[in-house]
Structure 1
């Protein structure tokens, strides 16, 4: 299979893919390395401190922090406040509605509305009400892992982009 170029000879799909990888591969590796370092640090700290600092939604936050640091959704305020507010919504919904299907739906819907209303939209944080409701998390979940974990993620992103990726963060 080949693709026509603007100026003449066609390129094979393999040549096109190789060209794309040459242009974007280094940036993808830098982004992936940043995410791996951030998650690795939080996992190691969790183990050594014997306190949870890492939840699944932080993996999705790393996509924004390290692959799209210029996105408004990756701003420190959005990351930290979006996660904290969404976890708070999850905790409130859990205490009022319990852990059923309705609670999960209401929790995610209200979290989206609260983040949008407060200007702290961070899509990965939309999963926090589900995490809270499905695990029956307690109020301490707001501090450990949510607040402490997001502050550490943002700090790692700030240092990583200044020292290694050379991309502006926050934008």
Structure 2
């Protein structure tokens, strides 16, 4: 009886299987895009007195500026995913309270609803956790979630135009 070879999942992958390295220009532009978008959110917040910023928006910037072709980076997914996931977090905490079980339920429901509505946006998966741990009121859905996501999409749209990417977004809503 010969020994079984190790499972392919535990063997190191050759470098040729890694995703291609982005060009230096793409790397710099993605980083600048994330910085510009974040600064814009803070500027809007200071100017308006409204909340425009929440932690998952940092991850949204990674998608919108580093991977703008991804379905997860499209306006439908950015706005819809954050709205759905935040609504789920607010609803579950209101109806069932906050416990490890209800937090897990909210993340699972948000994930399923984003898939079912074709609004999957990975950073929005953090929204039920944020909502259920911070316990904001329902106005959180408008500010920062709706205002912030719309502002991020607007900045991404403008930024990609200025930097020569005229194909973002691939689709809107």
Shift of residue 48 of structure 1?
2.8
Partner of 2:42: 43
* TM superposition outliers: structure 1 runs of 4+ over 3 Å: none
Match of 1:91 in 2: 90
Deviation of 1:97 (Å): 1.8
Q: Distance in 2 between matches of 1:96 and 1:156?
A: 36
Q: Say if 1:77 and 1:120, in contact at 8 Å, map to a contact too.
A: yes
**2:81 is matched with which residue?**
82
Corresponding position of 2:70: 71
Provide TM-score, normalisation by structure 2: 0.83
C-alpha contact (below 8 Å) 1:99/1:136 kept by paired residues: no
Provide the residue aligned with 2:118 in structure 1. Answer: 119
Contact 1:30 1:165 in 2 (8 A): no
What is the DSSP-based 3-state SS (H/G/I as helix, E as strand, rest coil) of the residue aligned with 2:23?
Answer: helix
Distance 1:110 1:84 in 2: 13
Which residues of structure 2 form unaligned runs of 5+? Answer: 1-19
Q: Which moved more, 1:91-100 or 1:29-38?
A: 91-100
In the alignment, what sits opposite 2:127?
128
TM-score by length of 1: 0.84
How far, CA to CA, are the matches of 1:136 and 1:151 in structure 2? Answer: 23
Q: Describe the superposition over 1:10-31 as per-residue Cα deviations: whole angstroms up to 9, x where unpaired.
A: xxxxxxxxxx98x722210101
CA distance in 1, matches of 2:121, 2:165: 23
Runs of 5+ in structure 1 lacking a partner?
Answer: 1-19
> In 2, Cα distance between the equivalents of 1:170 and 1:49?
27
- How far apart, CA to CA, are the structure 2 residues paired with 1:59 and 1:44? 15
Task: Please state how far the C-alpha of 1:96 moved relative to its aligned partner.
Answer: 1.4
